[in-house]
Amino acid sequence: MAAVFWVLFVCLVSSIFSQPFTTTTDTSALLRFKSSVFSDPLNLLSSWSSASDCCTWYGVTCDEFSGRVIALNITGSIASLLAGTVPDSIGNLTELRSLILSHNALSGEIPASIGNLRFLEVLEFQGNNFSGIIPARLSTLQSLQVLNFSFNSLSGEIPGDLIGSGNLRVIDLSNNKLIGDIRINGSRECLGLKHLKLSNNLLENNIPKQIGNCKNLRTLLLDGNNLGGQIPVEIGQLPELRVLDVSTNSLNDKIPKELANCRKLAVAILTNLSNFVGFGDKPVIEFNAFDESIPYELLTLPSLQILWAPRANLHGELPRNWSNSCSLRVLHLGQNSLTGIVPEGLGVCKNLTFLDLSYNRLVGYLPERLQVPCMIYFNVSQNSISGSLPSFPNGNCDVNLVSCSGDPKFLDLEDMQTAYSNIPVWGIQMENLLGSINDEGFPIVHDFSWNQFNGNLPLFSFGEELLKTKTKCSYKLYLNSNAFNGSLPGGLVTSCNNLLSISVNVSANHLSGELKELLLFSCRQMREFEAAYNQISGSLTHDLGNLKMLEYIDLRGNKLSGYLPSQLESLQSLQVFLLGGNNLTGEIPSQFGQLTSLMVLDLSHNNVTGKIPISLVNAKSLEILLLNNNKLSGEIPWHFSDLPNLTLLDVSFNNLSGPVPHVPSLADCDRLKGNTYMDLCPEKASSSELPLSGTGANLRNPKKKKIYIIAAIISATLLVFLLPVVVLILVCWKRRFCKDSNLKEKIVVTFADAHAELTYDNVVRATGNFSLRYLIGTGGFGSTYKAELSPGCVVAVKRLSIGRIQGTQQFDAEIRTLGRIRHKNLVTLIGYYVGEAEMFLVYNYLSGGNLETFIHDNSGKNVQWSVIYKIALDIAQALAYLHYSCVPRVLHRDIKPSNILLDQDLNAYLSDFGLARLLAVSQTHLTTDVAGTFGYVAPEYATTCRVSDKSDVYSFGIVLLELLSGKRSLDPSFSEYGNGFNIVAWAKMMIKEGRSSEFFSSELWEPGPKEKLLGLLKLASTCTVESLSVRPSMKQILEKLKQLKT
């Protein structure tokens, strides 16, 4: 007993005498940390002073017996970010158990001395600006359980012994710049690991098979890297796995059916979308492209709640039996190549709140058992589903599944914060697909568009439980581009009074009846209404003004008649008002000038009369005003030049007269032509002054006005006497000419003003009878000549390679369709001539040459990123316009650098659009296949002989690759890799081998910006994948390009 007492006494004395030394060491280490902090906005460290006990300092915790510092926790916030570095002296806190410095602005390298902290259990530095490598000595910390370095700028490789070492339960290294392989240490040591998060780095090569040794792993996040190969079947050996995300990599091969062995799997994210930007400036583009169908066993896992696999290159049919999938809440299989029907069995998934099957090849009818009214997101657009829409069951919805606030009410996982704190479906993805929660509320989206549905429009409803939440909801209903017929229903949506807003699109159907029934009895919460290109009749009434929330209304291409309503000044939220292509009459109400939010007004192709009201100049937000093809008279209000945002004004084909105000968009005479009494040369005057000279000014002078009247009377009198004589002379001359000549009249049909006389003889003369000296280009469709029709008026004439025209009527319809197309990045088709042995097209001439010359004849020149980006954006805008704004849509079919022209400022213009189809209908094309040019043709044409908008996307991707590399599609330098190797294969090889920088021309890569160049390369590579479902649409490409600009 005495011996025991003596031992305790010695230990106590030793502790007393050693304590001052160790606590002093702790104090000194902490003060050094304070001295390395140069910004402390809230003075959090003000209590840190040598005059006080360090155990009383902010963020410091000491052991109550030894007095040693065991925890340092300074978690920052927006208002309290510490800025500075972490000194090596932090390693002197040898009793430290927890070191948390998260969400500050600390920078520099992570000190290797942390490896001295042998008792450390929690190490969290996430959300700072740390750089450099991860210290290898961290692998020796046997007590460490939680390691979180996420959201920093760490680089280098992950230390080889880190994953699987000691007692680590949580490793989060996501959102850094780590490279190299994922290496897992041993097998036994890995048993403690529960959560591994390596998302959004630059990790490469395959997912290691040793991952199957981590038997207790619950969360595995590997998304946003450069991982390749197959998903290892060994993941199926993880019985505790709940969350798996391998999206945004370069994985391929089959999705292993062994994943179904993970019976507790709740979230499986296999692919993601490509239309958003990830952490920082790092572009996020999906490269995973799996083979064949998704395993049936995975779809029917009893615990599966989220399956997210858009653009996964999936094929085959959906399973018929879903009885085991009662837990399924979110299913996203859009943008694949799924075939067959939407199975009736999906109706048993009563918990399903998100279903996306869009952009597939589904047919048949929609099953009535689907719980569409209970879904916050339902999308079957861009398929071939037919039949009438069923009356979906409107039973009780489980509001606890998902509320309109967007909060996930599922995934009851242990340690949710570290397991998966940012589920992509409810984070980035839901925000992009549905829109963030704002003044429109959280949207419920039901999308049936672009199918073959028919019959009458049903009455739409949704679960009342979805509306009984704290956050107001909005409703978006898309029924456009189907074959619905019959009259518009009196009310389209029930329960709309509980909504914050509603948007409806029924455009491009066969709907008839009068408009007023829908608008008068529909929701006052209507924010957007689109019913363009139907057969809707009746008139616009003053009751339209009751829809005070209305922002967007599109009624183009209908049979509306009557006057434009004047009492619309209450529509102060209205931004877009599209009424073109109807039979509206009367004058433009002056009250339109009171619509202060109005940005776009389209009254074109109607029978509107009277003057253009000067009050329109009060609509200061106006950007686009289309008044063409009406019966307007008088002058264009001079003060239109005061509208600060007006970029497009078209008044062509009216009865306008007088001078033209100095409005930039009217510099294009196409927007003025067809007005007989108008001076087509705009007079340049100050925007604040009326013209002081010219016809307009003279007519405002009373004395001169009398002179003009007298002169007009005399001229008219002479004309009455002389006209019969002139007519007689002309008739005799014509008879003589027709008698003495066997020449036939050769007419050049025009769509735009060439600013010179455009006749067959004039074109032949200007080209020297198509002489080689005027030749500026040749291609598969024919040869192009430069023609100066009159001094300073130059056009480009494309002489087509033809035989005899067949199907003249269809050919004429095709060419007239092309002639109506106008876009700032499309070469304007001015006119055409068709004869028995001659056919040519007349375009506007661009002096900057073509893109092929720009890329391949400018080697060594310093081409800046801004130029490359602008060219890419111009082409994308032109293609998106052809694909989505033209009715019917136009496929280019032959995109290549030589078909992209440049002006002197290097603005890009797409030429030859629609020519492949145009010449196909004439059956005369001799030299080029209708699918395009070898080296730019999409691979599916070789097997299907069919082209689509995705074929244009593939060709566009190759043009981007040529722009970035300076090499040709079939560059001679590729010969060393063997036959069939092209620029697409080279780009894929460079990316896979981590040598992306070698792909770019040195003149482009060296000055950068490198992150944006890499983003454009990934986008180009996505455009050139073989799978149609993986390739993005031009809309998605355009959105991605716009994001690269920021």
Per-residue burial over 679-709, b = 16 or more CB atoms within 10 Å of its CB, e = otherwise: eeebbebeeeeebeeeebeeeeeeeeeeeee
222 contacts 245 by C-beta, under 8 angstroms: yes
Could you give the 3-state DSSP secondary structure of residue 397? Answer: coil
Closest CA to 691 of 639, 627, 613: 639
Residue 428 identity: I
Rg (CA), the chain: 35
CA distances from 322 to 30, 259, 301, 716 (A): 59, 18, 10, 85
Q: Name the catalytic one among 26, 602, 894, 912.
A: 894
Residue with tokens 């949704």: 462
Q: Kind and range of the H or E element at 1038? A: helix 1034-1045
Flag whether 468 is marked binding: no
Could you give the 3-state DSSP secondary structure of residue 941? Answer: helix
CA distances from 108 to 36, 131, 141, 946 (A): 11, 6, 22, 56
141 contacts 117 by C-beta, under 8 angstroms: yes
Closest CA to 217 of 200, 201, 232: 232
- Whole-angstrom Cα distance, residue 347 to residue 850? 55
- Whole-angstrom Cα distance, residue 536 to residue 517? 11
Tokens of 667: 């510099």
316 contacts 338 by C-beta, under 8 angstroms: yes
Could you give the 3-state DSSP secondary structure of residue 878? Answer: helix
334 contacts 361 by C-beta, under 8 angstroms: no
583-588-594 Cα angle (round to 5): 135
DSSP state of 132: S
Dihedral sign computed on CA atoms, order 829, 835, 836, 840: negative
1017 contacts 964 by C-beta, under 8 angstroms: yes
Closest CA to 449 of 487, 503, 506: 506
Residue with tokens 């081409």: 863
- Whole-angstrom Cα distance, residue 700 to residue 67? 97
- Whole-angstrom Cα distance, residue 423 to residue 308? 11
Q: Does the annotation count 971 as an active-site position?
A: no
Strand-pair category, 306-308 with 330-332:
parallel
The gap from C-alpha 896 to its chain's centroid, in whole angstroms, comes to 23
Peptide bond into 1009 cis (omega under 30): yes
Residue 7 identity: V
- Whole-angstrom Cα distance, residue 247 to residue 290? 11
Closest CA to 293 of 315, 269, 271: 315
Burial class (CB in 10 A: 0-12, 13-18, 19+), 666: buried
The gap from C-alpha 90 to its chain's centroid, in whole angstroms, comes to 47
Tokens of 687: 């925007």
The gap from C-alpha 510 to its chain's centroid, in whole angstroms, comes to 29
- Whole-angstrom Cα distance, residue 287 to residue 308? 15
- Per-position DSSP letters for 138-182, written without gaps between them: GGG-TT--EEE--SS---SBPPTTTTT-TT--EEE--SS--EE--
CA distances from 44 to 38, 463, 868 (A): 12, 50, 48
Annotated binding residues, written as ranges, equal 798
Catalytic amino acids?
Answer: 894
